[in-house]
Amino acid sequence: NKFLQLRWYCTVPNLPKKILISSRIKVNHNRRKAKTMVAYSKIVIAGGGVIGNSISYYLAKRHGASCTIIDPVGIAPAASGKAGGFLAKDWSEGSPIGELMSRSFDLHAEQADDLGAEKIDYRRLEAAAVMMASNGSGRKPAGKKLEGVEWADVNVVGGNILGREDTIAQVHPKKLCEAMWNYSKESVGSTLILGKIAEAITDSDNKRIIGVRLEDGSTVDADALIVACGPWTDGARSWFGSEVEDKMPRMYGIKVTFYSCYFSTMVYFTLNCCYS
């Protein structure tokens, strides 16, 4: 077995490299598995949504590492606290994200065991697709499989089962975020700061992150900065000064593209390191 040391650097000149995560990769039979993360003692996560809290949770669970989450509102402030929490294991099978979706489904089941299914309202269920008539015929679902679908028992003209309990589940997203955060806070002493980052502070050579400055003027020490701001990720471009901002492409937290690699890929790679 051989080990490779990989460091994710941005191709944009003068971008502070310390915002990117390094990892030690174990190579075995041409397959790579994230083994460990480079040690950082002052990890700051910008964003208190499901990504930020997942990173915090697995840093604590797998590595015993604490962090500081900074968010203007708190834990699960936006879609991460209001989404439907629907989980499907194989709906993207054969696509580029198929393996990731399957892994995510399994991880949610593990979290239900570790955190308590009742605390995060995790449950397995079946999913059905129904076709509704627009003429108000009032027909009931055909077939025994859809007899119990009470919310769609009028004007249904057809349907089929999309998945059963082995591939379909649901979780309460806000409760999940809160449970992951509480674990990180109670087990390793992670902290939450209500505020908005205005600037990333670098050393005199502008090569290392040493902290962040908030809009109220206060500062937080950091040797690693992870941006997990969802659709607000693009706003982080301004944290590093106009010279860097002008050279960065636009970034989108919802649309996962290679153009978001300076931030989103860093976050996803960190998750991969923590999950493996």
Q: What does the block give as tokens for 201?
A: 């502070």
Amino acid 263: pLDDT: 34
Alpha carbon distance 220, 207 (integer Å): 18
Q: Is the pTM of this model over 0.85?
A: no
Residue 104 CA from chain centroid, whole number: 10
Helices and strands in the chain: count of H runs, count of E runs: 6, 15
Mean pLDDT of the chain: 75
Q: Which amino acid is at 87?
A: L
pLDDT category, 252, cuts 50, 70, 90?
low
Q: Is the dihedral of CA 107, 109, 114, 120 positive or negative?
A: positive
Query: Tell me: the pLDDT tens digits for 71-101?
Result: 999 999 998 998 889 999 999 899 999 999 9
- DSSP character at residue 262: I
Amino acid 159: pLDDT: 76
Tell me the β-bridge partners of 36: 24
Alpha carbon distance 7, 16 (integer Å): 13
Residues near 117 by beta carbon (within 8 Å), at least 6 away in sequence:
123
Mark out the alpha helices in the chain (DSSP H runs).
50-63, 98-115, 117-120, 173-188, 242-247, 266-275
Residue 105 CA from chain centroid, whole number: 13
